[in-house]
């Protein structure tokens, strides 16, 4: 009897562990080799849909991004960042971040999984989304704030360069503060140099 219960528990655990992270979704896959913006234009005629793609997550800033309590203890940070964006008639209306170990419930919505998204392309697209949302007065909590978090969590020099550009060019003090905040968490030499220059400049005033 005991062996039967153990077998059932092991089977249940195996099924749960193998479960895909995206559920309750009408999913499809599409290449974004020509760019994320180009892939979004291909679904612009749809009233609403989500896109999702993965890029490397920075080890020094990585963390698990599941909503609520997952019931598991993670000893190591995830290696990939999952970026999700809701597209309504071609416009970005909501950005979310997740990690591959989290289960994402799409609520029955269509979800287009983009492949072939490079780190440079992701950083460039996120930067354009942030700048556009900030300039148009778009909702901070739904678009540019989660988008800049995605940029801050993404690994590689392209994300750092985009954060520096945003910090240098934006006229929005809140956006600039967020960009500098993410740069202070990075170990990249260019990020450290920029933050040092910002602090030095502030002390001279």
User: How many C-beta atoms surround the C-beta of residue 199 within 10 A?
Assistant: 12
DSSP character at residue 89: T
Q: pTM of the predicted model, to two decimals? A: 0.84
| pLDDT (0 to 100) of residue 58 | 92
Q: Which two tokens stand for residue 46?
A: 């749809």
pLDDT in tens, 144-163: 999 999 999 999 999 999 99
Whether the Cβ atoms of residue 84 and residue 126 lie closer than 8 Å to each other: no
* E strand spans, the chain: 22-23, 26-31, 49-56, 80-88, 91-98, 104-105, 110-115
What residues form DSSP beta bridges with 49? 87
Q: What is the mean pLDDT of each run of 10 residues along the chain (205 residues)?
A: 45 36 91 95 93 92 74 81 95 94 92 96 96 85 94 96 96 94 94 92 70
Q: Mind listing the pLDDT tens digit for each residue in 60-98? A: 776 778 876 666 777 888 899 999 999 999 999 999 999
Q: What is the reported pLDDT for 158?
A: 97
pLDDT of residue 151: 96
Q: What is the DSSP letter of 103?
A: -
Output the pLDDT for position 5. Answer: 46
């Amino acid at each position: 009897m005991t062996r039967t219960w153990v077998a059932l528990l092991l089977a249940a655990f195996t099924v749960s562990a193998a479960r895909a992270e995206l559920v309750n979704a009408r999913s499809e896959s599409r290449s974004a080799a020509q760019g994320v913006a180009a892939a979004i234009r291909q679904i612009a005629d749809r009233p609403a849909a989500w896109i999702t793609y993965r890029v490397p997550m920075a080890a020094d800033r990585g963390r698990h991004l599941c909503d609520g309590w997952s019931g598991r203890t993670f000893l190591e940070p995830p290696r990939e960042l999952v970026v999700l964006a809701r597209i309504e008639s071609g416009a970005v209306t909501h950005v979310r971040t997740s990690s591959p170990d989290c289960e994402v419930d799409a609520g029955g919505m269509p979800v287009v999984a983009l492949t072939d998204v490079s780190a440079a392309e992701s950083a460039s697209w996120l930067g354009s989304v942030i700048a556009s949302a900030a300039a148009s007065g778009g909702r901070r909590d739904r678009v540019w704030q989660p988008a800049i978090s995605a940029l801050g969590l993404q690994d590689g020099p392209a994300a750092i360069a985009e954060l520096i550009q945003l910090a240098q060019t934006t006229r929005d003090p809140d956006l600039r503060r967020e960009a500098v905040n993410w740069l202070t968490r990075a170990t990249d030499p260019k990020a450290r140099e920029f933050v040092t220059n910002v602090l030095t400049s502030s002390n001279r005033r």
